Amino acid sequence: MTYDFLIIGAGIAGVSLAYELAPQARVCVLEAEERPGTQATARSAALFAPSYGGPEFRALTRASRAFFLGPPAGFSETKLLAPRGCMYIARADQTARLESMVAGIRRSGGTMASIAAEDAKARVPLLRQSYVAAAAYDSDAMDIEVDALLQGFLRAARAAGALFKTSSRPLSIQRQSGIWRVSVEGAELSAAILINAAGAWADQVGMACGAREMGFRPLRRTALLVDPPPGINVAGWPAVIDVDEEFYFKPDAGRLLLSPADETPDVPRDAYPDDLDVAIAVDRVQAALDLDVQRVSHSWAGLRTFSKDRAPVIGFDADVPGFFWCAGQGGYGIQTAPALARFAAALARGEAVPADMLAEDLSAARLAPQRFAGAAT
């Protein structure tokens, strides 16, 4: 069977894109792992924060808000968002950076309130008074039910006819007579358009299809869970992020999720945490928080894959006909998935960028792969 779209990668990007395309087209999604959403999608910090990330990611997050708050009927039995809030904190030497960040977010249409150090400590009582000099608060930030989101996209895409083939790593990819032909173990699949949603492996897939290397960078990020002090209920705390993103922490099922917000260059693989990064996370958080970490309950790592300008790459390749990029979501793929999928699906179908995203200044050219033309070797 020849499909209209063959998507490589069943992380949140590939699954949400299949959801958007399948009602009007024949769609097949290939995934090398045993099930969708195994890599970066399963290792998300699960935070919807319109203030988090660069301007393109903030705009896509704002454009995703309506879907999260009011998904289609039957999409999920669970609410996709739950109240959380996000607080940015600054030491005395970081206050100018905090002021600049707040001003930039407000200019781009985001909501951010400056709050005093005393207010920050009232929200998170264990913050060290000697550490926090100023803070800012994003009341729009919420927790995301990541699995409910992923499963909702999967169910609806399958109901619309999309085929998901897991444990199916491409063995060969060729384009003949205007059709992509992809061999996997036991089958050969054909499609008019091949979509590269392979995450950390996007450059490998691109070059296998004859495209230039884009220069995507997989950056490892570490996270861990620890217990709060006895008698301390952290459930109502906001997520807390250092203004220079040297660390963050947030409540997670009665425990605290900590991260050194590391961006360690890595290679496409199943990432695992480094003991030094775990120790750095504990040290940085303990400097800001009156927290004596005796034991790490669990630690893990995931790859956040960025383009060279840290904005997503969405659009048809300039040199390879029928080859479409949907990559470079960094660590913001979950919170931007609804809008990014609509944006990518429109371009893949040859349609205009949705009006609500044009209103956010998200043009096709701004995210197009052509912005890197000739830059990679």
Domain residue ranges in the chain = 2-55+146-216+309-372, 86-139+218-306
Q: How far apart are CA 260 and CA 275, in angstroms?
A: 12
Spatial distance between the Cα atoms of 190 and 130, rounded to a whole number of angstroms: 62
pLDDT tens digits for 32-49? 999 999 887 878 888 999
What is the rounded CA–CA span in Å between residue 148 and residue 145?
Answer: 5
264 contacts 293 by C-beta, under 8 angstroms? no
Residues sharing a CB contact under 8 Å with residue 235, sequence separation 6 or more, in sequence order: 251, 254
Is the pLDDT score of 195 beyond 90? yes
The pLDDT of residue 271 is 93
Helix (H), strand (E) at residue 20 = helix 12-21
The pLDDT of residue 40:
78
Q: Cα(224)–Cα(300) distance, rounded to whole angstroms?
A: 6
Tell me the average pLDDT across 294-312.
96
- Cα distance between residue 157 and residue 164, in whole Å: 9
* E strands present in 270-310: 296-306
Q: Crossing angle for the helix pair 146-159 and 333-348, nearest 10 degrees?
A: 20
pLDDT digits (tens, 9 = 90+) for 332-377: 999 999 999 999 999 999 999 999 999 999 999 999 999 987 544 3
- CATH superfamily label, 86-139+218-306: D-Amino Acid Oxidase, subunit A, domain 2 (3.30.9.10)
* 8 Å CB contact between 89 and 135: yes
278-295 residues labelled b (16+ CB within 10 A) or e (exposed): bebbbebbbebbebebee
Nearest to 309 by CA among 254, 355, 370: 370
pLDDT at 209: 97
Please check whether residue 220 is in contact with residue 264, taking contact to mean a CB–CB distance below 8 angstroms: yes
- Strands annotated E in 227-295: 239-242, 248-252, 255-259, 264-265
The domain 2-55+146-216+309-372 having CATH identifier 3.30.70.20: the answer here is no
| Structure token digits, residue 105 | 């977010």
Q: How confident is the model at residue 297 (pLDDT cuts 50, 70, 90)?
A: very high
Does 218 score more than 50 pLDDT?
yes
Distance CA 290, CA 41 (A): 31
Asked if residue 188 has pLDDT above 50, the reply is yes
Position 375 scores a pLDDT of 46
Residues 259-277: what's their mean pLDDT? 96
Q: What is the pLDDT of residues 8-28, one digit of tens each?
A: 999 999 999 999 999 999 999
Each residue of 78-124: pLDDT tens digit?
A: 999 999 999 999 999 999 999 999 998 888 777 899 999 999 999 99
pLDDT given for residue 377 in this prediction: 34
Share of the chain above pLDDT 70, in %: 99
Closest CA to 135 of 89, 104, 178: 89
Distance CA 307, CA 327 (A): 8
